[in-house]
Amino acid sequence: MDRRLYCCTRTQQITKKQNEVSIFVKDDHSFMLVEEFIPNIPSKKIDAGSVGFTSPSNIALVKYWGKKPHQIPSNPSISFTLNNCKTETVLQFSPNTTDGFSFEVYLDEKKQPDFRPKIEHFFQRIFPYAPFLKYYHFDIKTSNTFPHSSGIASSASGMSALAMCIVALEEQLYSGLDANYLKRKASFLARLGSGSACRSIEGGLVVWGEHKTILGSSDLEGVPYPFEVHDVFKNYQDAILLVDKGEKQVSSTVGHNLMHNHPYAPSRFEQAHRHLDQLIPILKSGDLEEFISIIEKEALTLHAMMMSSDPYFILMKPNTLEIINLLWTYRKRTKIPVCFTLDAGANVHVLYPKKHAIEVELFVKNKLSAYCQNNQYILDNVGEGAERIKI
């Protein structure tokens, strides 16, 4: 038996309540409880204190789109961890005087009651793995380095920063937890908050979702990409063009669910596996032509899935297409290996090697920014992952 998982059949004693929060139903209808991440009784008593972390956003190369219960992805994905688009979170804890979860959330020092349901849901999901959450009242003080209304998903950076803080509290309560365990657990918890968040803990390239060729890949947590990576990808650049800064038209959870019974879902999931396989030699050799072909296919397939679901959505805006066309013309003319990728929205991520940063950034500034809301864009690059804030 895989030591990381505790599997048991339906006949064993598992209460309905546990089933709701902590047990995965595997394809073979057995239950799966991730025993490794369930702590015992704390070895220390701490009344109050605070911990803080910054954690970045990430941009997927092979996209996660479609999930099963308990935040299990329908296909594996891989992303670059970013550097400049970050959430900073400080978790202040003091004794809890209630029976339930007790917390307040602040964004830029202002109370945010709107964030409460998401955090409450997150706490419920991770409670079996962090029972100490009920010992404390938390003040969760958070801010983003990017504008809140930029259309950049803050869930990956926000949930990963919060997961790091919770694991840092666990580290204070239990002795002998090693750094690798803590990072893995943070990714595991972050996934339960928002799937893509599990790819923001580690830096560089991170894989999430089981893939036959990628040893150690897991549906439960993000893992650093384990194979050789060409130098060109170590400091890849991402200019994020803010085409539409408005509220998301469709939440990612609703979007993922549209992949259930989607007529093209099986071939899409199979394509994601194939793209990851194809990326392995490309990431090693630095073959940018092949890289571009996979990255752009992934972005367009993601949107093709949304356009062909029921109900259907078009999340690109006219300016998204203008930018893509201008970028293709520029690439053809200059032979600079620049490409685009998209998230579940209208913004365009322009990806390029560091050695072309000066020319590409001039092109972004002089040409593409005209198609952005208020000419806004953010220059980012591959980063190191979550980091502790010294308090």
Q: Which parts of this chain interact with ligand DP6 (CB under 6 A)?
A: 60, 63-65, 71, 77, 153, 155, 194-196, 252-253, 256, 302, 343-344
Minimum CB–partner distance for residue 48 and ligand DP6 (Å) = 31
Q: Which is nearer to ligand DP6, 155 or 373 (CB)?
A: 155
Minimum CB–partner distance for residue 24 and ligand DP6 (Å) = 15
Minimum CB–partner distance for residue 197 and ligand DP6 (Å) = 6
Q: Which is nearer to ligand DP6, 133 or 259 (CB)?
A: 259
Comparing CA positions, the residue from 59, 151, 111, 131 lying closest to residue 340 is 59
Q: Which is nearer to ligand DP6, 77 or 319 (CB)?
A: 77
Q: Which is nearer to ligand DP6, 31 or 208 (CB)?
A: 208
Minimum CB–partner distance for residue 119 and ligand DP6 (Å) = 13
Structure token digits, residue 384: 């190191």
The one-character DSSP state at 207 is E
Q: Which is nearer to ligand DP6, 256 or 317 (CB)?
A: 256
Instruction: Give Cβ neighbours of residue 9 (< 8 Å, ≥ 6 apart).
Output: 30, 31
Minimum CB–partner distance for residue 68 and ligand DP6 (Å) = 11
Comparing CA positions, the residue from 121, 37, 55, 56 lying closest to residue 91 is 55
Minimum CB–partner distance for residue 256 and ligand DP6 (Å) = 5
Comparing CA positions, the residue from 387, 388, 385 lying closest to residue 201 is 385
What is the per-residue burial (b if ≥16 Cβ within 10 Å, else e) of 82-101?
bbebbbbbbbbbeebeeeeb
Q: Which is nearer to ligand DP6, 141 or 256 (CB)?
A: 256
- Residue whose beta carbon is closest to ligand DP6: 195
Q: Which is nearer to ligand DP6, 195 or 337 (CB)?
A: 195
Could you give the C-alpha distances from 220 to 123, 210, 285, 310, in angstroms and in order?
A: 17, 9, 29, 28
Minimum CB–partner distance for residue 342 and ligand DP6 (Å) = 8
Could you give the C-alpha distances from 116 to 62, 91, 260, in angstroms and in order?
A: 31, 15, 28
The one-character DSSP state at 390 is P
| Count of CB atoms situated within 10 Å of the CB of 130 | 21
Q: Which is nearer to ligand DP6, 244 or 343 (CB)?
A: 343
3-state secondary structure 295-357: HHHHHHHHHHHHHCCCCCCCCCCHHHHHHHHHHHHHHHHHCCCCEEEECCCCCEEEEECHHHH
Minimum CB–partner distance for residue 302 and ligand DP6 (Å) = 6
Minimum CB–partner distance for residue 70 and ligand DP6 (Å) = 11
Structure token digits, residue 165: 């803080």
Q: Which is nearer to ligand DP6, 93 or 146 (CB)?
A: 146
Q: Is 321:266 a contact under the CB 8 Å cutoff?
A: no
